Amino acid sequence: MREVVGGVVLPRVHGREAELARLAAALEVVARGREQVAMLEGPPGAGKTALLSAAVAVGRRLRFSIISCNCLDQHGEAVVQLSECCPPVWHGGHVLSFGQEFFDRLQRQSARLPVLVAMDNLHQIGGRELCVLSSFVSTLRSRPVMWLLARRGAGRSAAQHHLVPAEGPIDLRIPLGPLPENAVVALAEDLLRAPLQPSCRELVARAEGDPALVTALLEGLRADGLIERRDGAVGPVADRLPRRLLEVVEDRLRLLPTQDRHRIAVAAVLGRGFAPGLLAGRLESSPVALLPTLETAVSLNILRSRGGIVEFSSELFWRAARELIPPAALITLGVAGQAEPEPAELPVPHQLTSIEREIVELVSEGLTNQQIGRRLSRSPHTVNYHIRKLFRKLRVESRAALAAWAQVHTGRAPSVFR
C-alpha cells in the first residue's frame, strides 16, 4: 500500500532499502529516549526528499510526532517553512522564524511523544540558522528527538562544522549516490505500472542511476504521448527527449553561475567526455582556471571525473544539455550543424539492426507504416520510430531516398537483404 498524506500519494523509494533500515534503527533508538541526528546528503535529484518522506512515513507508523520543515532562500533571506504534512507536500506550510517559537513547540511535543524533525534543503540556510539549530540539538540531547536533515552536497560542509560541536557528532551520515540498475528498472516499472520493453530498459539505463532524470524522462514521455504498450510491456515510440526532461536538466544547469553554464555548454559540444585541456583550449583559458567550474559541476552531478577524462554524469544528461544549446550559440561556437555527432562513414546494410533491415526492405516495396506494422507485429508508431531513426542514420529525408539507398547498396530492389 502506498503512503497517502493530505490526499497526495507519496512515491515509493527504490534501491534505498539499506538507508531506510538504518534510519528506522535510529528512530528506534530515539523511541527509547535518546536524541539522534541523521544527515542525508547528495547532489540535486539524488532522492533526498524522497527518502526523507519515506523515513517520515516510518516515523509516523512508530507513533512519532512529526515536525516537517523546508528551508528556503527567499530573496537572499533564509526562512524555515513548517508543514503540517510530511514532505514533499509543502503547500499547507507557514513560515516561522527559526527561533523561540520553533524551540517551544519542539519542547512541548517531545515531553509527550518522541518527535521526528524532518528538515529538508538545509543547504539553503546560513551560518546564523545553523548555529541556532546546533544549539537546539545540544540542548535536547536527553530528549526523544530525531533530527532528520537533508542537504545538497556532501562531506566537509558548513553544516557539518556547525552541527558537530564538542557535544557529539552527527550520529548517522547517509550519502546518496546513483541508484543501482535493478532499482532504476523497479522505479521505471512503478512509474509506468507495467514491465519495460528492452528498448525502454536501455533508455532508462542511460540515466545512469539518476532518479530525477529517470522520473522526468518517463513522466515526460507519458505526458507527450510517447509511450506505447505492446504484449503487456511498455516502451518509447520515439527517439526524442521529452520536454519535461529538458526542463529538469535546464534547472540543474541553472544552479551553475552564468559563466560556468556557458563553459559547460561548450563542453557539451565537445562530446560526452572531454579532456579538461581541450576544453581550456576551446575557451582560450587554462585547465587550472577551469578547475572551480569543473568542481562545481561535479558537485551538482552534472559532470563526473573518470581517469583523467571529465564526462557528463550520464549520456541522457549530456544529450539534453546539448539539445538545450540555442542554435545561435552553436553558430558562435563554430559548430552549427553538428548538434548530433555523426559517424564519419554511412552505415552499410549489415550494420543495421535486423528490424531496421526488414523495415528498409518493406519501405522499398512501397508498404505503409500500418502495413509494415502488421507484417512485423509492431505498432505503426514503432515502425515510424525506426524509420525516423533510419533517416538520421542514413542521412536521408524521404522513404523514396531510403529505397534508393537500399538499391545502391545491394544492386537490386526491392528484396534487398535476402
Ligand X SMILES: Nc1ncnc2c1ncn2[C@@H]1O[C@H](COP(=O)(O)OP(=O)(O)OP(=O)(O)O)[C@@H](O)[C@H]1O
Q: Does 349 bind ligand X (CB under 6 A)?
A: no
Does residue 44 contact residue 300 with C-beta atoms inside 8 Å?
A: yes
- Of the residues 13, 79, 249, 253, which one makes contact with ligand X according to CB under 6 A: 13
List 30, 37, 41, 47, residue binding ligand X (CB under 6 A): 47
Q: Which stretch binds Mg ion (CB under 5 A): 13-21, 40-48, 212-220, 323-331?
A: 40-48
- Binding part of the chain for ligand X, among 46-54, 95-103, 397-405, 407-415 by CB under 6 A, reads 46-54
Decide: is 110 part of the binding site for Mg ion (CB under 5 A). Answer: no
- Using CA atoms, how far residue 331 sits from 241, 262, 327, in Å, is 22, 14, 6
CA distance 390 to 411: 19
Please state the closest distance from residue 1 (CB atom) to Mg ion, in A.
24
* Residues belonging to the chain: 418
What are the residues whose beta carbons fall under 8 Å from the beta carbon of 119, sequence distance 6 or more?
A: 68, 69, 70, 71, 80, 133, 147, 148, 149, 150
Helices (H) and strands (E) in the chain, counts: 18, 14
Options 46-54, 165-173, 249-257, 380-388: segment touching Mg ion (CB under 5 A): 46-54
Binding part of the chain for ligand X, among 41-49, 198-206, 280-288, 410-418 by CB under 6 A, reads: 41-49
Q: Does 42 bind ligand X (CB under 6 A)?
A: yes
User: CB under 5 to 8 A by kind: which of Mg ion, ligand X, none does 133 bind?
Assistant: none
Contacts of residue 297, defined as CB under 8 A and 6 or more positions apart, other chains included, come to 256, 260, 264, 303
Q: Which does 125 bind (CB under 5 to 8 A by kind): Mg ion, ligand X, none?
A: none
What distance in Å separates the CA atoms of residue 208 and residue 224, rounded to the nearest whole number?
23
List the single partner that 287 binds among ligand X, Mg ion, none, CB under 5 to 8 Å by kind: none
Window contacting Mg ion (CB under 5 A); options: 21-29, 48-56, 179-187, 402-410 = 48-56
Work out whether strand 4-5 and strand 309-312 pair parallel, antiparallel, or are unpaired: unpaired
Residues 196-215 interacting with ligand X (rule: CB under 6 A): 211-212, 215
Q: Can you tell me the distance from the alpha carbon of 50 to that of 87, in angstroms, rounded to the nearest whole number?
A: 8
Which C-beta is closer to ligand X: that of 15 or that of 276? 15
For residues 241 and 276, the answer to whether their CB atoms sit within 8 Å is no
Q: Is 45 in the site for ligand X (CB under 6 A)?
A: yes
Termini Cα distance of the chain: 53
Residue 14 engages ligand X in binding (rule: CB under 6 A): yes
144 touching ligand X, by CB under 6 A = no
Residue 46 binds ligand X, judged by CB under 6 A:
yes
Q: Which three cell numbers stand for residue 272?
A: 560526452
**Does 53 sit near Mg ion (CB under 5 A)?**
no
Output the CA–CA distances (angstroms, integers) from residue 371 to 380, 383, 400, in the order listed. 8, 10, 17
Q: Which of 44, 271, 347, 414 binds ligand X (CB under 6 A)?
A: 44
Asked if residue 364 binds Mg ion (CB under 5 A), the reply is no
Residue 243's SS3 state is helix
Q: Give the residue at shortest CB distance from ligand X.
A: 47
- State yes or no: residue 49 binds Mg ion (CB under 5 A): yes
User: Rule CB under 6 A: which residues touch ligand X?
Assistant: 11, 13-16, 42, 44-50, 152, 179, 187, 211-212, 215
Interface residue list for Mg ion (CB under 5 A): 48-49
